[in-house]
């Protein structure tokens, strides 16, 4: 059974699911008041859904009510508010977010308490993307001191930031509130001043070069600007093929805020180009990005090419750090290689 409160979304689901040899009954309903009897489902699954709830505890209790004993409720891709921000502060910082994306925002402890109160045993898993240094390592190279800083930053972010209060710390909130307040206040200062990011920028080399030679094709290097000049940013990219036959590949140039990695609703935008790599070919690609009108142009040799696929959001603001990602896909749309930079864009 596929359920949504929006008739439009159910019509879209009908389009998507129509390609598969399975059938889902479509039901229009509010997730805080599900039209099902107790313990009827073996699995209840939600994707980027429960953070839209106006009453998180009631929603989780409803999900638990319709799930059979010893079966599972699984939710993925739900928004998490940093622990040091109140809901009012978070809304003030995200005023440009379009309506319908996140009217509400819960932190780690909100989710955990809601699951426990509903009688469900909570098991929260975190993507490697949030908690490893891989994303930043691409932008800062292989310097051991930088890797240590990156690891420390992500560890702090995991324990006190995006995922708020983890188990060990959350157990002490009621008994040691001052400890939590001091820790949260300290991280708030660090976050707002971009201290870790500034250290990365000082230690990072101008060009990060790394290879994955087992790949059929890969991003060999990215040469990025150290500062913005006349609103134009130029990136030189080198792509190498190890294949014995011609391969069609797509490279996507993505810009997105630090706090919302690759969230489609919070992208600044992406610009993609499709081209063919011959066996053993090394192709040089230049990406020119204009921050005034958010336009990107690709240059292959002496030939200037418009992007084949474009999407632009409305959350770009000046004088902030953003992640700039280069993503290489094969002809089937599988991600082959990625290279992520940390860049500050002025107004």
Tokens describing residue 266:
């919070």
CATH class, 31-124 region: alpha beta
Could you list the pLDDT tens digit for every one of the 347 residues in the chain? 889 888 888 887 777 776 667 778 889 999 999 999 999 999 999 888 888 888 999 999 999 999 998 888 988 878 777 666 677 766 665 555 555 555 677 877 788 888 888 888 877 665 544 433 344 444 444 444 445 555 555 555 554 544 433 333 333 333 344 555 566 566 556 555 556 555 555 554 443 333 333 345 555 556 666 544 456 788 888 888 888 888 889 999 988 776 554 455 557 888 999 999 888 888 899 998 887 778 889 998 888 889 998 887 766 666 567 778 888 888 888 778 888 877 777 65
CA 306 to the chain's CA centroid: 26
For the chain, which residues make up each domain, given as ranges? 31-124, 129-203, 209-345
Query: Do 343 and 321 contact (CB within 8 A), yes or no?
Result: yes
Tokens describing residue 150:
């990156």
What are the Cα distances from residue 345, in Å, to 26, 172, 192, 206, 233? 45, 40, 16, 16, 9
What pTM, to 2 d.p., does this model score?
Answer: 0.44
The CATH architecture that domain 209-345 belongs to is Sandwich (2.60)
């Amino acid at each position: 059974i596929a359920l949504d409160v929006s008739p439009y979304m159910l019509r879209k689901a009908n389009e998507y699911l129509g390609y598969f040899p399975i059938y889902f009954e479509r039901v229009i309903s509010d997730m805080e008041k599900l039209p099902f009897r107790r313990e009827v489902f073996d699995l209840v699954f939600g994707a980027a859904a429960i953070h839209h709830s106006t009453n998180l505890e009631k929603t989780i209790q409803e999900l638990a009510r319709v799930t059979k004993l010893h079966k599972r409720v699984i939710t993925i891709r739900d928004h998490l508010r940093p622990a040091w921000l109140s809901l009012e502060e978070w809304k003030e910082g995200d005023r440009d977010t379009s309506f319908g994306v996140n009217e509400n925002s819960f932190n780690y402890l909100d989710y955990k308490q809601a699951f426990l109160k509903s009688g469900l045993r909570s098991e929260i898993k975190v993507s490697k993307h949030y908690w490893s240094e891989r994303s930043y390592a691409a932008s800062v190279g292989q310097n051991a001191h930088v890797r240590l800083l990156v690891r420390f930053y992500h560890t702090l972010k995991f324990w006190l930031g995006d995922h708020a209060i983890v188990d060990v710390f959350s157990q002490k909130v009621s008994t040691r509130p001052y400890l939590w307040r001091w820790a949260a206040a300290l991280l708030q200062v660090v976050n707002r001043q971009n201290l870790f990011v500034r250290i990365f920028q000082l230690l990072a080399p101008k060009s990060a070069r790394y290879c994955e030679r087992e790949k059929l094709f890969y991003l060999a290097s990215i040469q990025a600007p150290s500062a913005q000049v006349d609103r134009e940013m130029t990136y030189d990219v080198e792509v190498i093929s190890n294949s014995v036959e011609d391969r069609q590949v797509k490279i996507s140039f993505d810009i997105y805020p630090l706090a919302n990695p690759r969230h489609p609703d919070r992208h600044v935008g992406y610009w993609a180009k499709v081209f063919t790599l011959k066996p053993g070919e090394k192709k040089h690609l230049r990406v020119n990005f204009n921050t005034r009108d958010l336009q990107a142009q690709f240059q292959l040799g002496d030939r200037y090419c418009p992007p084949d696929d474009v999407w632009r959001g409305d959350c770009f603001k000046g004088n902030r750090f953003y992640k700039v990602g280069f993503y290489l896909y094969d002809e089937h749309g599988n991600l082959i290689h990625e290279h992520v930079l940390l860049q500050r864009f002025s107004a």
